[in-house]
Amino acid sequence: MDTLILTSSEVADLLEPRILLGALRDAFVAHSTTRTVEAMRIPVPLPAGEAAAGASGMLVAPGLVPNIPAYSVKVHAKFPGQSPAIRGVLILHDLASGAPLALMESSHLTALRTGLAGALGAEALSPPKARTVAIIGAGAQGRSQLAGLRLVRPIDVVRVFDTNAETAQRFASDPCVRGLTIAVAASLEEALDDADLIVTATWARAPFLFRRHLRSGMHITTLGPDEPGKCEVAADALEAALVVVDDRRLAVEMGAIGGACLCSDVIHAELGEVLAGKRSGRTDATQITVFASVGLAFQDLAAGWLAYTLARQRGIGRRVDLLS
């Protein structure tokens, strides 16, 4: 069996965000209601002195979604000083035989599916008329989150803050903000002023968003904590909010909940439970809500399978016999 090889630009051309949003919605529901294999993420520390500061590797496996006859394994590297900072490959395997169906570059796929996961969280939890968003962390994921939010909420004002002022200025001129009122904030507090939505997408290892920063009706998406030791939102803020996660166990082991030194009792629900109607989401306009995402392998499979099937239909990519 030949293996289909897809580059990052080919994956980007194949994945239409609105179509993938629907596929991810179904996958989240399946993960929380019918999963048979627990989510797994394996951080791989790299040797100090030989790799850049803050660099690490990651293995995300396996990805399984009902009605997709494949599973996925993703191996990627995290190098904060590089562009993109996260890069790697996603491998699709035939579920019946284990044969490698496809090998695709995963940086765009990862950013897109994470942005759309944040959009699903905001759609389920944020005020329906939310218009003002604060983006804390102006990297690729900040841009992807904003693009996702624009699919589900009538965003018209963006304030961006980054500890690197040049990065924030680049964000302000990016196509993702076209048609919006955009301001580069000089401080975290300035960015948060009157924000309906807050997105934190940083490499932080200590909390910077506290209860004192929050106001009635606000929704927060926190994405940075995806391995042990990372934290963006402090314990007092999480304890004051309705907290929804992508996976209970991983949120405690290596996500926002564990990063804030809290336990699973602070978690209200998994996003898939809310999307399936098994658990409530926002119930009144005054609630403070949080979606804390670690990032899960089934999201990669949903995106990778969509790219693979469309590539086969359109004759995109190269076929290689890896056994030759």
- What letter would DSSP give residue 177? G
Q: Which of 63-77, 167-181, 251-265 has the lowest mean pLDDT?
A: 63-77
Percent of the chain at pLDDT > 70 equals 100
- What letter would DSSP give residue 51? B
Domain with CATH 3.40.50.720 in the chain: 126-295
Angle at alpha carbon of residue 209, lines to 198 and 291, rounded to 5°: 50
Out of 2, 26, 194, 226, pick the active-site residue: 226
What is the average per-residue pLDDT within 99-115? 95
Answer CATH for 126-295 from 3.40.50.1220, 3.40.50.720, 3.40.640.10, 3.40.50.170: 3.40.50.720
Task: For 2-19, give one letter per residue: b (16+ CB within 10 A) or e.
Answer: ebbbbeeebbbbbbebee
56: pLDDT strictly greater than 80: no
CATH architecture of 3-110+298-320: 2-Layer Sandwich (3.30)
- pTM greater than the 0.85 cutoff: yes
Identity of the residue numbered 86: I
What is the average per-residue pLDDT within 305-312? 98
Q: Are 210 and 234 in contact (CB under 8 A)?
A: yes
What is the average per-residue pLDDT within 73-85? 81
* 226 noted as active-site residue: yes
Domain with CATH 3.30.1780.10 in the chain: 3-110+298-320
The span from the CA of 324 to the CA of 3, in Å, is 11
Identity of the residue numbered 73: V
Q: Tell me the backbone φ, ψ of residue 240, rounded to 5 degrees.
A: -90, 0
Please give the pLDDT value at position 261. 98
- What letter would DSSP give residue 48? B
Q: Using CA atoms in the order 116, 234, 232, 33, what is the torsion angle rounded to 10 degrees?
A: -30
What is the average per-residue pLDDT within 21-49? 88
Q: Which of 53-67, 76-90, 226-240 has the lowest mean pLDDT?
A: 53-67
204: pLDDT strictly greater than 80: yes
Q: Which of 38-42, 252-256, 258-262, 317-321 has the lowest mean pLDDT?
A: 38-42
Considering only residues 208 and 79, tell me which one the structure prediction assigns the higher pLDDT: 208
170: pLDDT strictly greater than 90: yes
